[in-house]
Structure 1
């Protein structure tokens, strides 16, 4: 069998996008990033992860990402602000959950802190109260008061609200619904 030396065989062959075990060009890496950024904003670390998984060498990835940063398409501080606003407003996430999500996305603490500072304690309590009111509508009316409190506080804790904030909001909302009778605050 004759072998054509113009095309490498096996793992050295590139895939349909021109990226193989040897990596690709900065232009190709930039195109990959642009496709990802067209779907949603991403942190620089997320883009590095995608490029690494596709086989781009670090120096090629860095050139592409540096160029995208220069033109303002990659900005971790803006990404963090957008993520916090969106996830707090639409998903009801608390500051603790948002900080964890941003850490997992590779955003530096120096970009996370100002983004989280945009959520005031009043904003967080107001959003938590909305979540509790919505959940109260779906809980059985005959559910034991202690179980109701545990479920509501647990729901808020899973969404990243601090325990004292969660209990304070639950207590206030239950008081508004006439279920405050002899509630004992474990944090007093």
Structure 2
């Protein structure tokens, strides 16, 4: 049998507690994990109970690492799973962590896709084709992509987006064909490019 000889709040991390077993530091737990474990100073543990407590401490540390990563910025579920794979977190455990993140609102592919599109609209003139490609690279479900881009299409005039790029890039691409090729590489449709160019020419005869 082993004995929990002390439980001490950490100085630098007030939400974590150091547990001492038989007079020596053994591991730490977050406040929530400590409450979940229901251990107390002076409590005796069998080898099986101590092993289970160490496993709880490991998963508690892993989850707090995952929680901090998720809180830095919005992430797709695929990004979170990829991160946990890099951290050698077993797939069943990673699935449990993603479920917990979803329950507390830190993981939602629909919300991620909406934020991604809104952010790209604020920072850069981007085609819907490029946005679709970027969301696919984040492994967002196609039904979510379709929904989010349909909403974006209702609020964004692609011709205006192209016109803004033409205004910015025309001095660099004096040859109209090179400008068209550039816009096509950005994922814009030829008919939309042609309409935007015609409008630009009409505005600047």
Q: TM-score, normalised to structure 1's length?
A: 0.71
Structure 2 distance, partners of 1:25, 1:162, is: 52
Q: How far did residue 25 of structure 1 move?
A: 4.4
Tell whether 2:172 aligns with 1:117.
Answer: no
Per the alignment, residue 170 of structure 1 pairs with 197
Match of 2:140 in 1: 107
Larger proportion of strand: 2
What is the rounded CA distance, in whole Å, between the counterparts of 2:178 and 2:93 in structure 1? 50
Decide which of 146, 149, 169 is 1:135's aligned counterpart: 169
For 1:75 and 1:87, the matched residues in 2 are separated by: 18
The offset of 1:29, in angstroms, is: 3.6
- C-alpha distance in 2 between matches for 1:95 and 1:43: 19
CA RMSD between the two structures:
2.0
Within the alignment, does 1:79 sit opposite 2:106 as a pair? no
> Any conservation in 2 of the 1:30–1:64 contact (CA below 8 Å)?
yes
How far the C-alpha of 1:68 sits from its partner, in A, is: 0.4
> Residues 28-107 of structure 1: matches in 2 within 5 Å?
28-107=61-140
Distance 2:188 2:157 in 1: 12
**Structure 2 gaps, min length 5:** 1-56
Segments of structure 1 that go 5 or more residues without pairing to the other structure are 1-23, 179-188
For residues 197 and 79 of structure 2, the distance between their equivalents in structure 1, rounded to whole angstroms, comes to 36
| Distance in 2 between residues matched to 1:86 and 1:123, nearest whole Å | 16
Q: Mark the structure with the bigger radius of gyration.
A: 2
